[in-house]
Structure 1
Amino acid sequence: HGGNVPKLAGKRIVMLIDFQFEDLEVMYPKMRLEEEGATIVVCGSHDPRTKYTGKYGYPLLSNEQIDAAWIGCYQCGVAMEKIDAVIVPGGFAPDYMRRNQWMLDLVVFACERNIPVAAICHGPWLLCSARPTEGGPPVLSGRRATCFSAIKDDVINAGATYVDDPVVVDGNLITSRTPADLILFVQTIITEVLMRNSSGS
């Protein structure tokens, strides 16, 4: 293509990570979105450069540590860089993620600002536990969503309408079922990020 600018040039996408992630659900979106020009910031609960290992042994180093100071910069509007989307991969990692207050706060932050949050497989577990107000309904409440079949009951109990489709978009939330849906999942992330860019929001 010569001088064509990649579609997602200048876009900064946060990928949440923890141990026992679903290898494909991290690596495929990361590579595809980087190929489109996006910067993928891998954020975990441990020190930057921690080596996280997927369910099948794939290693990935984190770029940044998500903690009170990290999320506070965004909440107070003093962060040097923007966030154009948040990706929540599946595997067993979301079981750890949903216990991490800063990751929950990031999901709420994104939802309050109409930033796409894309969760696949067990990833919607994080959306079941992220509540804009303490004791209030989670961000999934009143939304259409999909997920891995094993956590369907959790998604319904969080107040969502469960839909058995490869990808479901409702507002800023993008949800998907399994690694078999990854191609459409990532295509949808690209579309949603670009759509928000063009509308100026």
Structure 2
Amino acid sequence: MRRIGILLADLFDEREFLYPYYRVQEAGYAPMVLGPEAREYRAKSGFAWKAEAAAGEAPPLEGLLIPGGFAPDYLRRSPEVLALVRKVAEEGKPLGAICHGPWVLVSAGLVRGRKVTGFFSIRDDLENAGGLYREEGVVVDGNLVTAQGPKDLPAFMRAFLGLFRG
């Protein structure tokens, strides 16, 4: 089965994880939860989910999603996570990040010259990294899909999954 990775670290936003997890399944893909380590991670609410594998041990993926919350600040500290994100981007596969998720894209060096959006508080980070910030709910630039927050989840996932159709 074709896998789409979803990155987790502590303090993830459970809405931005669970909605994509089940939408990926509905679209006929196998969601694969990855983290800096293969272990259980806790959401901001206390909800927990286990990463099946460490990012450095990920099998080939068809695409990758980065939920928000505070987790992206932990994810961006992992060289293995950044290497996986860069690999997916270099292969031209769909790469999605929502809310604070684009922080990981900044640390991976992937926003320069790209149209992006994210939670309003990371706008400066995105622009300082060379991103072309758009004040829009969802922004698509090639294989990259970014979104501002939970209210944008339906449009975010339509755009992300739409990259597989066309």
- 1:86 pairs, out of 42, 55, 64, with 64
- 1:167 pairs, out of 129, 138, 143, with 138
1:11 offset after TM fit, Å? 2.7
Structure 1 residue aligned with 2:54: 65
Structure 1 residue aligned with 2:163: 192
Aligned partner letter, 2:63: A
1:38 maps to 2:16: no
Whole-angstrom CA distance in 2 between matches of 1:46 and 1:112: 23
Fraction of identical pairs, as percent = 38
1:189 offset after TM fit, Å? 1.2
1:146 offset after TM fit, Å? 0.2
CA offsets 1:34-80 (integer angstroms, 9 cap, x no match): 12221001001123xx221110122111111123xx26xxxxxxxxx
Aligned partner letter, 1:58: F
Give the gaps of 5 or more residues in structure 2: none
Structure 2 residue aligned with 1:76: none
Structure 1 residue aligned with 2:83: 105
1:188 offset after TM fit, Å? 0.9
Structure 2 residue aligned with 1:199: none
Whole-angstrom CA distance in 1 between matches of 2:78 and 2:97: 16
Structure 2 residue aligned with 1:114: 92
Q: TM-score, normalised by structure 1?
A: 0.80
- 2:5 pairs, out of 14, 17, 25, with 14
Q: Runs in 1 of length 4+ with deviation above 6 angstroms?
A: none
Q: Which moved more, 1:174-183 or 1:28-37?
A: 28-37
Structure 2 residue aligned with 1:133: none
- 1:54 pairs, out of 36, 43, 61, with 43
Q: TM-score, normalised by structure 2?
A: 0.96
Determine which structure has the larger strand proportion and give its number.
2
Whole-angstrom CA distance in 1 between matches of 2:55 and 2:161: 24
Count residues in correspondence. 166
* Cα RMSD after superposing both structures: 1.2
Whole-angstrom CA distance in 2 between matches of 1:42 and 1:164: 29
